[in-house]
Amino acid sequence: MSGAEAILVIKLSALGDVAQAFGPLRAIRRHHPAAHLTVLTTAPYAPLFAACPDVDAVWIDARPKWFQPGQWWALRRRLRSGGFARVYDLQTSDRSSGYFRLMGGGVEWSGIAPGCSHPHANPERDRMHTLERQAEQLAMAGIPETPFPDLSWLDADVTALAPPAPFVLLVPGGAAHRPGKRWPAERYAALARMLLERGATPVVLGTVAEAEAVDAILAAAPGTVSLAGRTGFAEIAALARRAAGAVGNDTGPMHLIALAGCPSLALYGPQSDPALCGQRGPRAAILAVPDLARLTVAEVAERLAEIGGLPAHES
């Protein structure tokens, strides 16, 4: 580090929150331009932070359990060995706040850990959207301006993946234990057929764990392209920049797609609140309804058209 000031940023998960942390990261970098900036995160997000030009080093938190004292001691040693002048805890969870005590409590700390030097002292913080909450946290730590997240550095060659334009991304997945956050697969299939009729190719994104929904869409809408299990974070952002639009459930990939500037429509039921965690982007929109099972294809298509993400009928 050649004697440079050492700064630690903690952001452990999840993808949507990680994506929205890149604005705060840029603000921290601007405030500490010559510092050696380390991010502590979990393994799935290490490649994403490693690619960010504002980050100098990435440490992986194995998130030890209470019955793994050896791992706790190893984490304590590593944190204390970093010589950090300040820590920005952007996770602000019970776990990450506990790391303040693990480090001995003497380091400058921005977060919500009891006794920390730069607390986010707003009792209403949990009622704020992630972007506004983190910007206010940094302001209370002496960083007055936090830019909107810029993911222009996150890109990949998707020549072998992307179909000819126009194409529209569909993101039908979501947490398996929260089925109420998913628009039914048959509605995605009907939307895919509408897109095909307009001369646009539906492109389904997802993981191998979402194969059932993906297979249902492909079976009901022949001509749909599946990239399930074939895209990383950079490929998702690259595809989003080239897509005519995107429709998806409240999932992490939709945050990347929205921040990449794609005309994107995120679908919300009552199980999550877009006022707290909704996708943000220059051409992003939210469609929140009391019951996703009752949301029609016509309603989705109308809203997607309003934000410019629905290709017009071929002449």
DSSP assignment of 114-143: TT-SEE---TTGGGS-HHHHHHHHHHHTT-
Angle at CA of residue 38, ends 37 and 44, nearest 5° = 135
CATH topology identical between 6-140 and 167-306:
yes
- Specify the pLDDT at position 105: 79
**pLDDT tens digits, 208-267:** 889 999 999 999 999 999 999 999 999 999 999 999 999 999 999 999 999 999 999 999
Q: Where are the domains of the chain?
A: 6-140, 167-306
Which pLDDT score, from 0 to 100, does residue 174 have? 78
pLDDT of 37 above 50: yes
Does this model's pTM top 0.75?
A: yes
Mean pLDDT of 193-222: 95
Residue 1: is its pLDDT beyond 60? no
Q: How far apart are CA 133 and CA 120, in angstroms?
A: 9
Query: What is the pLDDT, as a whole number, of residue 179?
Result: 76
Question: Each residue of 270-306: pLDDT tens digit?
Answer: 999 999 999 999 999 999 999 999 999 999 999 999 9
Task: Provide the pLDDT confidence category of residue 314 given band limits of 50, 70 and 90.
Answer: low
Cis peptide leading into residue 202 (ω within 30°): no
The pLDDT tens digits for 57-108 are: 999 999 999 999 999 999 999 999 999 999 999 999 999 999 999 999 789 9
Residue with tokens 């089925």: 179
What confidence category does residue 48 fall into, taking pLDDT thresholds of 50, 70 and 90? very high
Contact 40, 103 (CB under 8 A): no
The residue with tokens 């309603």 is: 299
pLDDT at 86: 98
Spelled out in words, what is the top-level CATH class assigned to the domain 6-140?
A: alpha beta
Instruction: Please tell me the CATH code under which domain 167-306 is placed.
Output: 3.40.50.2000
For the stretch 104-147, pLDDT in tens is: 978 999 999 999 999 999 999 999 999 999 999 999 999 999 99
The span from the first CA to the last CA of the chain, in angstroms, equals 60
- Tens of pLDDT, residue by residue over 170-181, are 999 977 667 789
pLDDT band at 313 (very low <50, low <70, confident <90, very high): confident
Residue 56 above 70 pLDDT?
yes
HSE-CB for 163 with a 13 A CA cutoff: 17
The answer to whether the CB of 102 falls within 8 A of the CB of 112 is: no
